Amino acid sequence: MIAQTPTALTLPQRTAPVTPRPAILPPSEIAPRFTVDGGRELEAHLVRTCAKIAAGVRGLVPPGRLEALLLGGGYGRGEGGVLTTAGGERPYNDLEFYVCIRGARLLNEQRFGRALHVLGEILTPQAGIEVEFKITSLRELGHAEVSMFSYDLVSGHRPLVGDLGSLARCAHHREADQIPLSEATRLLMNRGSGLLFARERLEQREFTAADADFVRRNIAKAELALGDAVLVAHGLYHWSVRERHRQLERLARPVPPPWLETVRHHHAAGVEFKLYPERSVATRESLQAVHAAVTALAGQIWLWLEGRRLHQEFPSARAYAESRLDKCPGTAAPRNTLLQLRSLGLRPLLEARAGRHPRERIFHALALLLWEPAALHEPGLRARLQRELQTRATTFPEVMRAYRALWSRVD
């Protein structure tokens, strides 16, 4: 079953950004908007929130150590979600702040991490949404390889503190065609995991309004990710969600894959939800239908993407999971062994795959749980799933506990 085609999406043009001044940057003088078309009260609320956060961070990190404070995510790119409620417009997405501190990140996390976490807890109720801090440094960003995260942050952010000329060393992160295919796989791994967590809610005996909202949100994230993964594969990803949809609409191949138009439809729905989220009041049955359609489409995109990335065709999710091909080529065996030890303990080190990245286990388990209905009923598949997750669980809820534990450690 394919979900009903959403109505055509109108993608408003973003206001041209104002060139910010270096050093201390008052939020009201930086980028023009946090949202595409949110009202004045919402924008003012976010300006005040950013001012409080900037002041708090400057109070915690000495001036000689604080290089920059950047607001990333949708609000940092001027495309934050606008939730319309009976009491007016409210922010919806998390506020993701990146604190660039001179020196080694691990030492900075030990020194400043706890204080920043407490600051986030204090300001979250005032902001009305989750306030998160992530510590990095301009040197670390400058030396890092290009990823979807680094591209999004460097290409589209709202600077609150710092000399922006220092970001010049990070210019390579603005090259979208340098984002590796493994990043698209990682994106689908996380959004596919969201579909699995949504399935858990759908199969519970009790199904509440909070469950419906969780399920709808994770379906929308997956809808967006499917189109985004296709764009990464063609070197056309863009930091703006509206521009990504335009790129997807323009994408043309000599022989377009049969699922491309369906991906466009779902991507439009994902963009709409990202910009204008809403609290779901849908029934369990209606959400199950959409969840099934998006899950089936995700399976097609997963096998297409992995075939492209690994240069081997996989006719089914089962064939993918049973293939002995290294799903994380290019990763270092000694480091992978340490990751296996940290994630699952000593037992995996006795296997022949001890030198492989533990993310491969998530890839295999995800493929079986999402797209192989017999995974928990056929003895051979169940044993493989248990081996991947290092568990003896036999029921879906028990297996999901093991899956979630590994996913949270590896990602």
- Residue pLDDT, tens place only, 20-42: 323 334 443 444 799 999 999 99
Distance set, CA 117 to CA 53, 132, 293, 389, 406 (Å): 12, 7, 39, 31, 24
What's the pLDDT score for residue 29? 41
What's the whole-number mean pLDDT along residues 230-246?
96
User: 108-143: buried (b, 16+ CB within 10 Å) or exposed (e) per residue?
Assistant: beeebbeebeebbeebeeebbbebbbbbbbbbbbbe
What's the pLDDT score for residue 163? 66
What's the pLDDT score for residue 349? 80
What's the pLDDT score for residue 112? 97
What's the whole-number mean pLDDT along residues 376-397?
95
Share of the chain above pLDDT 90, in %: 82
**More reliable by pLDDT, 8 or 370:** 370
What's the pLDDT score for residue 165? 66
Say how far apart CA 272 and CA 224 lie, in whole Å: 9
What's the pLDDT score for residue 27? 40
Half-sphere exposure in the Cβ direction for 61 (13 Å, CA): 32
Q: In sequence order, what are the residues at sequence separation of 6 or more whose Cβ sits closer than 8 angstroms to the Cβ of residue 26?
A: 51
What's the pLDDT score for residue 299? 98
91: pLDDT strictly greater than 60: yes
What's the pLDDT score for residue 12? 38
360: pLDDT strictly greater than 50: yes
Place of tokens 């051979």: 380
Structure tokens at 160: 């609150």
Residue 89 backbone phi and psi in degrees, to 5: -80, 145
Q: For residue 107, count other CB atoms closer than 10 A to its CB.
A: 11
What's the whole-number mean pLDDT along residues 273-291?
96
Q: Which part of the chain has CATH 3.30.460? A: 27-174
158: pLDDT strictly greater than 50: yes
Q: Which CATH architecture has domain 27-174?
A: 2-Layer Sandwich (3.30)
What's the whole-number mean pLDDT along residues 198-219?
96
What's the pLDDT score for residue 166? 67
218 pLDDT tier (thresholds 50, 70, 90): very high
Q: 251-280: per-residue pLDDT in tens?
A: 987 778 999 999 999 999 999 999 999 999
Q: 101-112: per-residue pLDDT in tens?
A: 999 999 999 999
5 pLDDT tier (thresholds 50, 70, 90): very low
Question: Average pLDDT over the chain, rounded to whole?
Answer: 90
Q: 331-349: per-residue pLDDT in tens?
A: 999 998 898 888 888 887 8
15: pLDDT strictly greater than 80: no
118: pLDDT strictly greater than 70: yes
134: pLDDT strictly greater than 80: yes
What's the whole-number mean pLDDT along residues 380-408?
95
55: pLDDT strictly greater than 60: yes
92: pLDDT strictly greater than 90: yes
Cα–Cα nearest to 383, from 409, 365, 407: 365
164 pLDDT tier (thresholds 50, 70, 90): low
